Structure 1
């Protein structure tokens, strides 16, 4: 495992592909979903056109982010196949896929492992009381169902990202319980790459009537999370949801070391445009930090990948080291 350089903050140059916005869940804070039948699915030809356009745009990660089709739906098989085919197409064209499509079966995860360098699923919060409020109409938000995904990812040796959504009706104690559950699973399988701490940020589509999570509280949460989580788990924050420059720097000082995938649009929080890498670099440099790109799989997990995936990852690591593909970053210092 590489020795961490604590002056470095990482991000993934990414582009998000949405197979469908349709989702059978109706989380009251969601600004992403549409009702089933109200959103066309992305075709493979459309995705391939996008991939071709991205090949010269310094993008390494393709995030496959989808609304959920019910496990018992007649469309479930076609939905899963579309996700698989999109990942395969992205991989064939030289990108590194990372899928976050809600809870999957063990067999589905096992198949997607062949065409993804990493995967993810937000735990959000493990407290069951949210099933009576924001998750009342969200069957796949059962805490035990989502926790099971993390365990299956460990058993399948899938490098994994998870996280908490802060400010949706949970308590402070709920944060520590959820983080402890993540830490315990990681101690068994050593498979969690990152934990995202995402502050609730109200959007125009949601029905949840609550204020945004106080960004001034986020550094405290990060500092406590850093005490709970093993040191080989990176804490990630979404910089577009921490608009104040000083508080973004405060989050970094508290222990956040990654800013996630930076793409043209934040599909989950469309009302909050991403700050692009050049802007983020200027902010971080003012505090003595350096922003560098990373791949969606950390080096310590490379040997978990298939030979095909390892070869694509190997080529990307060579490119990052040998060529200044990303303007204004010192890639020779890139730890991953």
Structure 2
């Protein structure tokens, strides 16, 4: 049982034999992909506050210094993204920031909100109004918190990071693996298409990495909701000087991810943090959300590659580069999938996700995809055209 799992009502058992098998996997044991995908997004750091104090993170600001974007600022970022052809609004903020930061809590109250999640909902509605599909990554969430925003998100996510207790999560407010796993479970119970991942090099060992990947696989087998798993290295920054995993480590752990996960789950590496060209043959098939207009606020020292560079990565592997939406196509109702859209969405057309019966996207997101406007056409062009027309 993983630390904190029983406390948060998570029942996951990872088989020791499966762990040993996964530890034997090498890049030679997995197949290279047939294509590479990416999403064109804008990065919206709703607040720089976080209740955690992880020793590798530069995203959070201490109490008294943290900021909260106004809805006007959110709208301006979204407009710039829509003008640049983006389809995704990536919302991030630290875990339950209003719990620890009295100033943030007071600002939310002044704006008529009793929690960051009700404010996130309003921000997602702004993104939809401006023609972007929200993908929120707000850290640990209770089922009630996630349910409050799920219907205004095309997909959601949280990095599992690791199922082990590590020193990098030190301090009085530690990330608890069981709570992280509970967030993944909540997404499955609520039929939310979900992104997660592992963080490599924060003090976990090889067995921890295998167990983390297998825990993700077990939850996906239970709920069929994981759309992609990110394999992300910790990187040097002003708060982390303990080094980053070397290429050999990244190649093996990426291959382990591909071997552990079913085919329908993508394996992603962030191209601004990894030597992506050296990892494609390890089973990577997605390069994540890349922004032509905003910075990577979580890793500000590591700029997004230009979209031209994504083409070069794909060309180096002799693979097509395909743009995707923030929600993977298998979660869309049949009427909205490639070749199936006829300009209408009938009543009840929301069913028909990856298993043919579940409502993976809400009527709000379904209507946005089907809208007869520039945003709807932009979304459908991504589905229809496949290979991205990359603007520079």
Q: Normalising by structure 1, what TM-score?
A: 0.88
- Measured on the aligned residues, the alpha-carbon RMSD in Å equals 2.1
Return the match for 1:218 from 247, 250, 257.
250
Q: Is 1:241 matched with 2:273? A: yes
CA 291–259 in structure 1, closer or farther in 2 if over 3 Å, else same: same
Return the match for 1:257 from 275, 281, 285.
285
- Give the match for residue 307 of structure 2: 277
Q: Is 1:127 matched with 2:164? A: yes
- Give the match for residue 23 of structure 1: 50
| 1:1-336 matches, cutoff 5 A | 6-70=33-97, 72=99, 75=105, 77-128=114-165, 130=166, 133-137=167-171, 139=173, 141-204=175-238, 206=239, 208-243=240-275, 248-263=276-291, 264-302=294-332, 303=351, 304-314=360-370, 315=376, 316-321=378-383, 327-328=389-390
- Give the match for residue 332 of structure 1: none
Structure 1 stretches lacking a partner, 5+ long: 330-336
Deviation at 1:60, TM superposition (A): 0.5
CA 9–324 in structure 1, closer or farther in 2 if over 3 Å, else same: closer
Q: Normalising by structure 2, what TM-score?
A: 0.76
Deviation at 1:107, TM superposition (A): 1.1
Distance 1:209 1:114 in 2: 40
Contact 1:9 1:289 in 2 (8 A): yes
Distance 2:361 2:385 in 1: 24
CA 211–6 in structure 1, closer or farther in 2 if over 3 Å, else same: closer
Q: Secondary structure at the match of 1:239?
A: coil
Q: Which has the larger radius of gyration?
A: 2
Deviation at 1:69, TM superposition (A): 3.0
Provide the aligned length of Structure 1 versus Structure 2.
316
Deviation at 1:30, TM superposition (A): 0.4
CA 295–26 in structure 1, closer or farther in 2 if over 3 Å, else same: same
